[in-house]
A and B are shown apart, each in its own frame.
Chain A
Amino acid sequence: MRDREQLLTLIRNVLNSNGIVSIIDQDMASFGYLLGLEVAAEYIESGSYTWLVSYEPLQSLLRDMGRLGIEYEEHLGKTLFIFDAFGSMKGIEPEMDGVLTLRGYLDDNVFVLKYGRLVSELIETLEPRPESAIVVGHLESGICRLFQNPLKVQRRLWNLFLEVPLRLSAVKTYLLPECPGMDDLAYFYSDLVIESFLENDERKLVVTKGGEDEP
C-alpha cells in the first residue's frame, strides 16, 4: 500500500525517464484524475514545456486547476499550451492566449490529421525549441463523447504522440465508465497504471501496472 506522496514519487520517476502514466478512475466519485493534474502542476509551475489536452469543457479543466491552486496563468502561451479538443469538436472559439483549437470541418479522421499538423506547427514556432515536453491527457475518456469511433481515434492519437520529434513523457487520465475499452491500450502501452476506486466509502489509489519493477 502506498500513500499519496509515494505515488507521486513513483509517477515522477516514470515521467522523468520519458515514460507514460495512466490513471484510471473506476467510478466518478473516486477523483483519481486530480492526481494527474497535481503532477502536471509541478511541470507547469517550473516552466517545463507542457501540452495539456482537454477532452472536457475548458471551464471544467480550469476550475479543477483553480481548486488545486495551480498557478498556470503566467505560463499559458509561453511554456504551457492547452489544446481544447472539446472546444474544437463543438466549434467553440478560444478566448485565451495559449489555448488552441482546431477550426473548420472535423470528423474522426480530419481531427487526427489537423491535430498532427497543429502540433508540428506549434513546435516550429517555439523559442527556445523544446527538446522534451510533458503531455497531459486530461480525462481522455471524453473522447467517447466527441467521436464516432473513439477507440480508433484514441489509437491514432497515440500514434501521433510517437511521431513528435521530442522526448515526451505523458500522464493520461480516464473515467472508465464514461468510455469502456479505453483501458485496453492504456494498459498495453503505459509504464505505470494507477487505478482509483471507492471501497467501503474510502478512496483507493492502487498501482496496477509497473509496480513490480520498483526498487
Chain B
Amino acid sequence: MSLKLGLKPVDRVLGGVKERSLILIHEADPRSLGKSLALQVMKEKLESDNLVGYFNIGLPLSTFTAVAERFGIDIERHLRENRLMIVDTFGSLYNLRRGTGNVWYLSQPISLETLNDKYLEVIGAHKEKWKRLNMFEGRELWGIAISISDYLHMFGPQKTQRYLEMIDLQRAKSDVYKKYPAGTNVWVYSGNDVVVLPLIYRKASYVLKTESRITGEERVVRTMKIMKAPDLDGIPTFEYIVRRNGVEFL
C-alpha cells in the first residue's frame, strides 16, 4: 500500500511511498535545512489526524519543540490529543525530563548495547495505549527521527554502526512489531560520514538527499534529490525554499 509522504514532488513522481518502508532524508549540509523536510512530513501527518512517534535523539526537547512550534506544528495539542508520542533520548541521557503526557523517557543506564531494548519497551507501552484508545483504526502510523547522525556524537561512529547493524534482527524478533501495527519511518541523517551513512543508504527504501549552494548572486539554492526509490531511473532533482512555517517546492 502506498502512502502520501507529504512532500509534493515525491508524491507526484513516485506516487507516494510504500507503507512500513524507511525513508532517509540525508541532509548533506546543514544549510540545506533537510530537517525541515522531516518537519513538513510531521506537520502534514499530524494535521491529517495520523499517528506519529517522534524520536528525539540529539537535541534538547525544548529546542525541538520551539522549532516545531515556529514551523506551525502545535506539539502540545497533538500530544494532548494522543496522536503524537515522543521518545526523548537526549533528555533520558542527560536527565532533562519534562512532565508532559505522551513523552517517554528511557530508563538509565543508557548505552547503545541496551538502547534498542529500551526503545522497544516504550514503543510497546505506547502502542498498547494507542490500541486501548482504538487509535490505530483508519490512521497511518509514522516514526520520525531527528537525527540518526547524532548517535555519532553521543556514542561514536563504530558503536553506532554496530547498533544499526543489529537493530533489524532484534526488531524482527520483537513482539512489538507482531502484536501491533508497524510504522513507516523517516530518518534524518546530517553530514557525510563514511562509516554509518553507507549502511543507511543500503537499508532505506527511499533516499532523499538535500544540498545547498550559494550562487554568484549571493542567493542560496536548496535542492532535494531522490537518490533511491523502488523502480526509479535517474535522480530527479527539485528546488525548494524553507519559509518560517513550511517547505515550498519551486
Contacts and interface: CB of A to CB of B under 8 A. Distances in A.
B244 interface: yes
Given A158-B60, A162-B60, A204-B218, A187 B153 contact: no
B148 interface: no
B35 interface: yes
A189 B63 contact: yes
A208 B31 contact: yes
A206 B216 CA distance: 11
A187 B220 CA distance: 13
Contact of A159 (B67, B96, B154, B218): B96
B66 interface: yes
Contacts of A189: 63, 66-67
Interface string B231-250: 00000000001111000000
Contacts of B70: 191
Contacts of A207: 220
Contacts of B35: 188
Interface in A181-215: 181, 183-189, 191, 193, 195, 204, 206-209, 211-213
A83 B94 CA distance: 24
Contacts of B60: 155-156, 158-159, 162
B187 interface: no
Contact of B59 (A155, A183, A187): A155
A131 interface: no
Contacts of B147: 184
Interface residues of A, number: 29
Contact of A162 (B58, B66, B153, B212): B66
Nearest to B35: A188
B190 interface: yes
A106 interface: no
B17 interface: no
A31 to B, nearest CB: 17
A152 B154 contact: yes
Interface in A131-180: 149, 151-152, 155-156, 158-159, 162-163
Contact of A149 (B90, B153, B218): B153
Interface of A: 1, 149, 151-152, 155-156, 158-159, 162-163, 181, 183-189, 191, 193, 195, 204, 206-209, 211-213
7 contacts: A152-B154, A159-B62, A162-B66, A188-B35, A195-B31, A208-B214, A212-B242
Given A184-B191, A185-B63, A187-B33, 9 more contacts: A156-B60, A156-B96, A158-B60, A162-B62, A162-B66, A184-B30, A187-B30, A188-B30, A212-B242
